[in-house]
Amino acid sequence: MNEPAEPAEPAEPAVVRETAVPSRRGWWRLAAYGAGGVLVAVGLTGLLVDARRTDPLGWALWFGGLVAAHDGVVLPLALAAGALAGAVREPYRFWVRAALGVAAVLSLVALPMVLGIGRRADDPSLLPRDYGRGLLLVLAVIAVAAATAVLTVRLRRRRRGPSSPAASEE
C-alpha cells in the first residue's frame, strides 16, 4: 500500500536576479523616458494654461478620435494583413510583408491628400493634383516590385533545386 516515494529531482540552480541598477543602456532609456515625460507635461501645461487659445476640449476629442481610429481601423487592418501574409509560403513571405508594410505607410501618409483635406476653392494651387490616381499608381508599382521579387526567388529556387541549401536561405 505504501509505495516508496520517488526520488526528488535535483533542485534547479538558483536564479541570479538582476540588480535594481540598470545598465548603461538602461540609463539612457530611463533618461529618454524622463525627457519625454517632461515634454508631455510641458505640452499639457501649455494646453491648459492657454485654454482660450488652445481649445483643450477640441484637442482631447481629436486625440481620442486618433486613438479610436488606430484601435478600430488601423490595428484590425494590420492584424488582417499579417494573417494573410502569414499564409504565404516562407521564401516569399518576406516580400509580401515588405510590400504590405510599405503600401500601408504610404497610404496612411497620402490619405489626407487623397481626401483633399486642406483643399480650398479660392486657391487652386493647394493640392492641385489627382492624388488618388497617383496613390493607386504607386501602389501598383509596389505590387509589381513585390511580384517581381517573388518570381525571382521562385526562378532561382527552381534552377537550384528544392534540396539545395542555398535555395532554402532565400
Among 150, 138, 137, 170, CA closest to 96: 150
Report if residue 15 sits inside a domain: no
Cα dist from 4 to 1, 7, 9, 139, whole Å: 9, 9, 15, 71
Report if residue 127 sits inside a domain: yes
Give ∠ CA 38-41-43 in degrees, rounded to 5: 110
User: How many domains is the chain built from?
Assistant: 1
| Average pLDDT of the residues of the chain | 83
Q: What is the pLDDT of residues 44-81, one digit of tens each?
A: 999 999 988 988 998 899 889 888 988 888 888 888 88
In the three-class reduction of DSSP (H, G, I as helix; E, B as strand; rest coil), residue 20 is classed as coil
Q: What is the pLDDT of residues 140-167, one digit of tens each?
A: 999 999 999 999 998 988 888 765 555 4
Report if residue 106 sits inside a domain: yes
Rounded Cα distance, 107 and 96, in Å = 16
Report if residue 52 sits inside a domain: no
CA-based R_g, the chain, Å: 27
Rounded Cα distance, 15 and 4, in Å = 31
How high is the pLDDT of residue 170?
Answer: 47
Supply the range of the domain harboring residue 124: 88-170
- Report yes or no on whether pTM surpasses 0.75: no
Report if residue 20 sits inside a domain: no
